[in-house]
Copies of this chain bind each other. A is one copy, B any other.
């Protein structure tokens, strides 16, 4: 018999479909370990092809060979032109696509995925996320900053070279506003942060925890919408990713390398999305929300039922997938 589980952070329900459940190892794809070459002449992000991207906005380190750099998206979804005033005509409301859309090129090496990067390199990556976040939020028209990464064609990218994207939005998306309001309501009722209570409950049950470090916990949430959906949650209340500390960055780099190595090896380099879930810019100093990372391997295709109902059918048990990831042997990880 299947089970309906409620995500306490959104009130969404998920069907955990035991009848059609697949065992964790059945999700592993058989692909070559490093399908891409180290350099590609047609890749706009590879060294030597710099003319194919717009001017550099920031680079690390500032001198010498770059390890990572940030450029404007050549085909931006949002641009810093026009106003954010709404135009209304009948029931149709619109506004200019004001905002910023940047690309963070994570490495000069075409096939250097995060698990293979050095720890200091991944620290630079997280630091670059934070620095761009804090730079972009200076614009008073910006209400939400979405940092994300698409790995593989099935995750929506056409460029395989490791990169992330940063979108600065003039609107708090209703989806994010709703999640934030759930935490406000919880705080009003209990005086506590919903996410921290949830983390405490997950740590108490332990069955869905993948790894623990000094500052972070990685886990497969109780009401995972997707097989192997992974959250990395900080242990201490901080609403905004923009306020991550240097010490946390060092710890997170190790956790992220480890979590993505487990996904890479355990699932055979699957397509995935990584998202930094953080509070609206104006609520950064409130104590309702806990920023965290969501990693969604794209192992199944949402179908008409998901699109029509908003209920996701998850064909894996989070308890089983978390155990599978937790128990992967360290020597199997790069």
Contact = CB atoms under 8 A, between A and B. Distances in A.
Interface string A272-311: 0111110000000000000000101000111111111111
A116 B246 CA distance: 63
A321 interface: no
B1 A171 contact: no
Interface string A9-39: 0111101110110000000000000000000
Nearest to A175: B310
A176 B92 contact: no
Contact of A307 (B17, B79, B275, B307): B275
B12 A174 contact: yes
Copies, count? 2
A309 B155 contact: no
Contact of A309 (B76, B156, B175, B222): B175
Nearest to A152: B301
Interface residues of A, number: 78
B90 A3 contact: no
A65 interface: no
A1 B96 contact: yes
B304 A170 contact: no
A8 to B, nearest CB: 5
A124 interface: no
A331 interface: no
A201 B91 CA distance: 7
Contact of A171 (B13, B146, B171, B307): B13
A46 to B, nearest CB: 22
A223 to B, nearest CB: 8
B4 A94 contact: yes
Contacts of A77: 2, 15, 17, 19-20, 305, 313
